[in-house]
Amino acid sequence: MALHHMREVGLKTIMVCLKRVVDYNVRVRPKTDGSGVQTEGLKMSINPFDEIALEEALRIRERGEASEVVVVSIGPEDCQQQLRTGLAMGADSAVLVRSDEALDPPSAARVLLNMIERLEPGLVLMGKQAIDDDCNQTGQMLATLWGRPQATFASKLELSGEVATVTREVDAGLEVIEVDLPAVVTTDLRLNEPRYVKLPDIMKAKKKPIDTVAIEDLGIDTTPAFQVLAHTAPEPRARGRMVRNVDELLAELRERGLVN
Amino acid sequence: MSKVLIIAEHNGVTLNQSTARCVSCALELAPDCIDILVLGSDCSGPASEAAGLKGVTRVRTITSEANAHPLSAVLAPQIAAVAPGYDYVLGPSTTFGKDLMPRVAALLGTGQVSDIMSVDGPRRFRRPVYAGNVIVSLEVPEGRQVVATVRTASFPAGAPGDSPVAVEETATDATIPTHTRFRELRTAGGDRPDLQTARIVVSGGRGVGGAEGFEKLYSLAGQLGAAVGASRAAVDAGYVPNELQVGQTGKIIAPELYFAFGISGAIQHLTGIKDAGTIVAVNKDPEAPIFEVADIGLSGDLFEVVSQLEEKLG
């Protein structure tokens, strides 16, 4: 590959953040003592929004608009599985910041800023939210600490020189903004459909490097901003009644004063 | 003496109802003062609406051409400049607040409580995680400024106050970045009711089968004066645009009446409707999980039900 040429026309590095989460299809329950959630033995996956972020990075590289895609994860040793999946999808290399404690978004953002300083990416991509804590904060906080623009909830991303034009899924419809690079872009569902990993890619990925860093060695404050007191199950909504036909349905709705 | 600052959401003309819901949440903190901050290029309309909300102490405005569109990178440093002195800085958990508030929290050097669903004490909150499968109770340590987004469906829109409070223009010396620029906003809604504020919502899932099927739901919604929503499966399948999505990764809504047509009832969807008044589910599969949470269930062909409803309501 003509690397020197690519540097002229596009970005050198895209950094993609992957979080290991309980798989989308698994229903999670709180532990009986409320100290956390039961995750033992559950299927774990790449956070689906992060997978979309990686797919987008790979497409940008495949268009010749970037030279390399590096995937970064923070978590226990087992995160290697998700990073391997990312490498099998097509990422060039991976970094695991080993942490046995789960980090809150401000701490994760501080760690990712450290990774930015190492990798000097021209673009950082990640999901708009992780489907475990549902916080929807890390990308925005990272962009702020970095002193760079953010474009959240992206459903379309176009790069041109030093500028990214991003279509964002907002409550009112679609908003188009322009941001100077480098920037953080967080991805929404409709940006793309991630590719399936093929067996030969999994074999090839085994040769790709995963660089491991112990979080203690980064000297970053990871004290949580808040104290979690308890995890509980939501109050169930009472089961209602079945009606047999539209007339019974309308009678019930009229009784409740909901329709005329 | 505790003070709350609420960041107003507006479209330049009117105040979004999400702001009044933030005021309802703020009142549960029993603060000494609730200020609303309106940032815009012309704040007059939203500011006068905000001044009329019950429980509000003062409305502050920052009027600048730079604030013509809600760009978080532009608004956040101005909010951070005003925020010192406030114990709480609240915004709505809409795409506006979700984008903006973490940027404010990071500038203020604190964390953010996302999606407050209930207030258990001045520093204790509950919020949903895992698509609402688990509720977390958390406490913000004393002395730490609370930046949070408010799950709007969990709080009422509130009532108007007795008489409007003062509106004051505020100046800041915040540096406004130029690295983020607004290009355009494309709205598809037209004159249909807004999904997040509509009294009735007619929603469809994968069972609707396609864009043509959704036309029939639009027709029923028109007759009922209802907004149209959709499950993630229907959005993924390309039947409707994403702004109709209801659920964990879409909109969280609390209409008085919610119709779920051809929606199986994945937990990701249910988390978006659990505060609805009455949920009506119509699905051809009598074992569909949606029936476990529906107040009224009808097992049958959804198009048959829709056309009968139109006829009998007509």
Over residues B24-45, the pLDDT tens digits come to 999 999 999 999 999 999 999 9
What is the identity of the amino acid at A85? T
Q: Does residue B272 carry a pLDDT above 60?
A: yes
Pairing mode of beta strands B118-121, B124-129: antiparallel
| Measured CA distances, B290 to B68, B193, B264, B286 (Å) | 42, 25, 6, 9
The domain B3-169 is placed in CATH, from the list 3.40.50.620, 3.40.50.10680, 3.40.50.300, 3.30.590.20, at: 3.40.50.620
- What does the alpha-carbon distance between residue A21 and residue A30 come to, in Å, rounded to a whole number? 15
Furthest CA-CA distance within chain B: 62
Q: Which residue of B has its CA nearest to A134?
A: B129
pLDDT at site B268: 86
Over residues B234-254, the pLDDT tens digits come to 999 999 988 899 998 888 898
B106–A141: do the CB atoms touch at under 8 Å?
yes
Band of pLDDT at residue A172, cut at 50, 70 and 90: confident
Band of pLDDT at residue A239, cut at 50, 70 and 90: confident
What mean pLDDT value characterizes chain B?
95
| Measured CA distances, A133 to A28, A47, A89 (Å) | 12, 11, 25
Helix ranges (H only) for chain B are 17-27, 44-51, 72-82, 95-108, 211-224, 232-236, 267-270, 302-313
B98–A152: do the CB atoms touch at under 8 Å?
yes
Q: Which of A25-34, A155-164, A222-231 has the lowest mean pLDDT?
A: A25-34
Estimate the crossing angle of helix B95-108 against helix A138-146, to 10 degrees.
Answer: 50
pLDDT at site A38: 93
State mean pLDDT over A212-239: 94
Give B163→chain A minimum CA distance, Å: 31
Band of pLDDT at residue A4, cut at 50, 70 and 90: very low
Q: Name which of A49, A136, A246 is nearest B114 (Cβ-Cβ).
A: A136
Q: Does residue B75 carry a pLDDT above 90?
A: yes
Q: Where in chain B is the domain with CATH 3.40.50.620?
A: 3-169
| Measured CA distances, B94 to A32, A238, B10, B81 (Å) | 32, 28, 12, 23
Task: Identify the structural domains of chain A with CATH numbers, from first to last.
Answer: 3-157+183-255 (3.40.50.620)
Give B222→chain A minimum CA distance, Å: 13
Count of residues for chain A? 260
Q: Does residue A49 carry a pLDDT above 60?
A: yes
List the one residue out of B141, B148, B146, B145 whose CA is nearest residue B116: B148
Count of residues for chain B? 314
Q: Does residue B52 carry a pLDDT above 60?
A: yes
Token pair for residue B51?
Answer: 């001044």
B111–A224: do the CB atoms touch at under 8 Å?
yes
pLDDT at site A9: 57
Q: Could you give the ipTM of this predicted complex?
A: 0.93
**What residues in A contact B186, CB-CB < 8 Å?**
173-176
Q: In what order do the strands lie in the sheet with B124-129?
A: A227-232, B134-139, B124-129, B118-121
A182 touches chain B (CB under 8 A): no
Give B40→chain A minimum CA distance, Å: 17
Band of pLDDT at residue A6, cut at 50, 70 and 90: very low
User: CB-based contacts of A232: which residues, under 8 Å, 6+ apart?
Assistant: A30, A34, B134, B135, B137
pLDDT > 90 in chain A, percent: 88
Band of pLDDT at residue A189, cut at 50, 70 and 90: confident
pLDDT > 90 in chain B, percent: 86
Q: Does residue B297 carry a pLDDT above 90?
A: yes
pLDDT at site B190: 67
pLDDT at site A130: 97
Q: Where in chain B is the domain with CATH 3.40.50.1220?
A: 200-313
Beta strands in A29-160, from DSSP E residues, in sequence order: 44-46, 66-75, 93-98, 123-127, 150-160
Token pair for residue B278?
Answer: 């009455």
Q: Name which of B96, B131, B295 is nearest A131 (Cβ-Cβ).
A: B131
Angle at B257 between CA B255 and CA B259, to 5 degrees: 110
pLDDT at site B286: 94
**What residues in B contact A242, CB-CB < 8 Å?**
291, 296-299
Q: Which residue of A has its CA nearest to B255?
A: A258
Band of pLDDT at residue A7, cut at 50, 70 and 90: very low
pLDDT > 70 in chain A, percent: 97
* Domain B200-313 class in CATH: alpha beta
**What residues in B contact A148, CB-CB < 8 Å?**
179
